[in-house]
Structures are given as C-alpha cells and as structure tokens.
A and B are shown apart, each in its own frame.
Chain A
Amino acid sequence: MNCDWIEDKLSAYIDKEVGEEGRLRIAEHCERCESCRSMVSQFMSIGRLMRQTESRVDTDAVWERVAVRLDNAKVVPISTKASNKNWVYAILATAASLSLFWFVARYDTSTEHGDDNDSHQHASLAVDFQDVFRLTKTDPRAAIAKLVAKYQGQELSQTAATDYLGYEPALYKSVPEGFARVSTHVLNMPCCKCSATLCERSDGTSLIVFEHKDEQPIWFGDSPSIETQCSGKICKIVESAGQLAVSWKNQDRQLTVVGANDLAEVNQWVASMEL
C-alpha cells in the first residue's frame, strides 16, 4: 500500500489540524493500513508518555537567583535600531553592575601644608545616571536643570563661561557637522568646575557635552561600560535608555558626551573635540 501521501500528514491528523475531508481520507486509509495505523497509535502513545513523565517544576528557587542577579546586574535595553551599536549593547547587557550614580568625583582635601594618605576623600555626587540619560533623550533641558539645581550651576555666555572655568571649553573651538550649540551651563562640582553644553542635532534632538579640567576622570560608577578606541583615543562607553555616553581624556581635559545615538556619532564627537 502506498503510504507516501499520508505519512507526512499523520501528525496533523492526530493533532486535529486537518480539514474534515482530509481527516476522513486519512481515517479510511488507516483502517486499511496496519503500518500507518500503528504509527498513529505510537505517535499518540509518545504524547501520553511525555505528559505522564513530565515532572513538576519549581521556579521559585530560580526567581531568587534571578532577583540577586537583577540586583547586581543592570538590565539595559538591547536595541536593534542601529547595527553598529548592537555589539556595544550586547557587551553592556552582560556587564555586571548596578549603580545609579553618575559622577563620583574625588577631590583633594589636602591642605597647603599636607599631602598625606588621608588627604583624598571620595564624594559621591549621586546624580541619577539613568535619569540624566533618560532626560537627555526626552527633555535635555530638564536634564541640565536637574544638574544646575544640584550643583549650583548657572547659564553663562561663551566669554563668561571661559572666564569662570579658567579655560576655553574644547567645544567652543569646533562642533561636529550637523550639531549646533544651544547653551552652556557651568556646574560647581566638588572636584572642579564643569561645563555642560547642550548641543542640538539638525533634527531637533539633543545631547549634552560635559567638560572639566581635572586629573580625575569622569567615572560612571559601576554602570556597565566598555573601553574601546574611538578616533584614536581610549573611550569609556556606557549605554542607557537606548543612547550612549562616552567619556575620554584629551590632554588635561575630561570630556563626556551623553546622549549619542550610535558609535558613529561617538567617533564623530571624539574626533572633533581637538584642543
């Protein structure tokens, strides 16, 4: 008996995934065909065996372990928007850390007379990293306002900002193509004075460029980060809220861009911020 036409349909038959006409044809065939009838019977027995032997599961224990990992691992959104940053996200997504603190700046408390081992203290500036990122994406002015409120900041003109900081921010020399400076605020951080410049893309979206003159690099806390080369400089990249922050050193300056869309934009900024 030729069973070729029916064998491939036996699963659909027992799973009730064939129409009435097909079901009748297969049923008639199976009545006459011992081989196909046996196969149907065995397929159904396999199903019963699987169900009978399926053991219960205890997922509570797994949750406890997952909760610990969630506590210690920052879960970051993995974007599929731009291929050139997927690898960054993939790495960051697995990086273990959870810190909502952005800058932890170390400032020198040594007196003019002493420089002993106790002369350095750590001061957590406790800026919510997630909030700043998120706000940069949705409301960059609010992100700056938040920083201004926390660090006695103020908006200054280009000249006044240069006077206040004691140096001309690199950003004033050149801005990458496609961006325009909107405003500059100065922040009175514990470590140092810092500029925060809002820059707007041609499509109206923004990012914020931070610059400070200090040996102490900007630290992203324990947030997931990778170090890589961007336009010839070692950069630390952090992802959050679907955007990237990049921090790098240029001579005696520490520069940070928050709100870059992708690695191409990161490279564009690092390359353009020459002193």
Chain B
Amino acid sequence: MHQSESSNQMDGQTNNRSSAIPREELETWVTNAASGSREYQKKIYELLASRVYRVIRKIVGANNADDVMQDFVIQLFAKLGQFRFESSLETWSHRMAVNQSLQYLRKSNREDQRVRKVAFPTNMFEEPMIQRQADDAEVLHLAMEQISGEQRAILHMKEIEGLGYEDIAGVLGIPEGTVGSRLNKARKDLRASLIHLGWET
C-alpha cells in the first residue's frame, strides 16, 4: 500500500508494514499462523492490529471496537490459509475488517439509530451544544455518527491511513474510478454534519 503525501503515519507505523518484510519471511509467518502457531499469529497480529483496530473503531465506534476486533482476529486466522499474496496483507485484512465492521453495524441496527438521530437532530445535538462547548474531538465524533459506516471507512483510509485511491478501491472492492466521488460525498456529508454542530474552520 503506498502512502499519499498527505498521509499522517499514526503511532510510528511507517516501518510496520508487510511490504517491509521479505516475501519469503512473510510467507512463513502466514503459513505458520494459519496452521495455528501462536507465535506467528502474534507476529501477524502485531503487524496489522493498530491500523485494523483504527478502521474498526472508526466504523463501529469505540464502545464496540474491542468486540469486533476480537471477532476479526478470530476470522483472520481462520481464513489466513486462503491468502494468496495477490494483494498486500494489509489490503486483504483491511477488506475483511471493513466488511466485518459494516456487517456488525447492519446486525446491530446502528444505521437505523443514526437515521433516527438525523431525523431528530435537535434532541440529539443542539441542546447539549447550547449547554457547553464541545471540543473538536467530540464534535467530530458526533458528526461521524451522522454519516454511514462506509463513509467513515473511506474517510479513515484516506485521512488517517493515507491510502491512495487504488488501495482504497482494493480494500472496499470498488472500481478505482468511483473512489473520488465517494470520498467527495463522504466529505460533503461530514462537512454538513460538522457545520450543523457549530464547527468553524
């Protein structure tokens, strides 16, 4: 996965990429982890965990991230034997994590809750905002709740992971040509939510 110039490497992840590991060594990791070696499962986990956890947290929220992350890791090791190195391990695992997170959202009807929040924004946002000035992180969190899980995922991959459109398309399984317009829509929707919450640039 290549990084765009605007990317912001989080938590010193720059050297913590599968591309930094020789192919043969990574194959050893994958083979052993898929066979159940805890030692190699831990290596794979440490390679992927931070970035995967972030995207999961962005999609399902901090309260649910741990549970979804655990389910993801279990599924990752169950399916690791199917990894064929046709894409990077990050892309492959990100796709799984995003799909699992979105599936979780669908199952738990959290999207419906968001619709209700949008339908009754006064109760949810305006009153608390009058009472106190929320900080940027809170405002962003509330605004993020107003957009879809897919939109949170694509924004996260661009702004936090710093992925290029090709890699984002690979993770989401969509045509590369549609990434820009989807990002545009996500940014516009998030911007509208932020402005609604009183955000000032």
Q: Residues of A at under 8 Å CB distance from B?
A: 7-12, 14-17, 39, 41-43, 45-47, 49-57, 59, 61-63, 65-67, 69-70, 73, 75-78, 80, 93
Closest chain A residue to B184, Cβ basis: A11
Question: How far is A49 from B34 in the complex, measured between Cα atoms in Å?
Answer: 39
Most chain B beta carbons < 10 A, residue from A61, A65, A76: A65
Could you tell me which residues of chain B, from 35 to 65, have a CB within 8 Å of some CB in chain A?
A: 36, 38, 41-42, 45, 49-50, 53-54, 57
Interface: B127 (CB within 8 A): no
Tell me if B159 is interfacial: C-beta within 8 Å of chain A: yes
Apart from A42-B201, A66-B69, what are 6 other A-B pairs with CB-CB below 8 Å?
A: A8-B184, A11-B180, A59-B49, A62-B70, A62-B73, A93-B75
Q: Is the CB of A59 within 8 A of B81?
A: no
Ordered nearest first, which 10 A-B pairs have the shortest CB separation? A12-B180, A59-B49, A53-B137, A11-B183, A11-B184, A51-B8, A45-B201, A47-B159, A50-B159, A66-B73
CA gap between A56 and B190 in the complex, in Å:
22
- By a CB distance below 8 angstroms, the chain B residues around A59 are 45, 49-50, 53, 69
Residues of A with C-beta under 8 A to B86: none
Assembled-state Cα–Cα distance A226/B18 (Å): 37
Contact of A63 among B10, B42, B194 (CB under 8 A): B42
- Which residues of chain B in 144-201 are interfacial with respect to chain A, using CB atoms and an 8 Å cutoff? 155-156, 158-160, 164-165, 179-181, 183-184, 187-188, 190-191, 194, 201
Among candidates B78, B140, B164, B191, residue contacting A17 with C-beta atoms closer than 8 Å: B164
Q: Which residues of A contact B158 (CB under 8 A)?
A: 15, 47
A67 to chain B: closest residue by CB: B38
Please tell me if the beta carbons of A50 and B201 are within 8 angstroms of each other in the complex. Answer: no
**B66 lies within 8 A of chain A by Cβ:** yes
Residues from chain B with Cβ under 8 Å of A70 in the complex: 38, 41, 74, 77
Chain B window 8-43, contacts with chain A (Cβ cutoff 8 Å), 1 for yes, 0 for no: 101100000000000000000000001010100110
Contact indicator A8/B10 (Cβ below 8 Å):
no
Point out the residues of chain A lying under 8 angstroms from B181, CB to CB. Answer: 8, 11
A47 & B57 in contact (Cβ 8 Å cutoff): no
Please, how many angstroms separate the alpha-carbon atoms of A76 and B190 in the complex? Answer: 40
Given known A-B contacts A8-B180, A53-B140, A73 and B74 have beta carbons under 8 A apart = yes
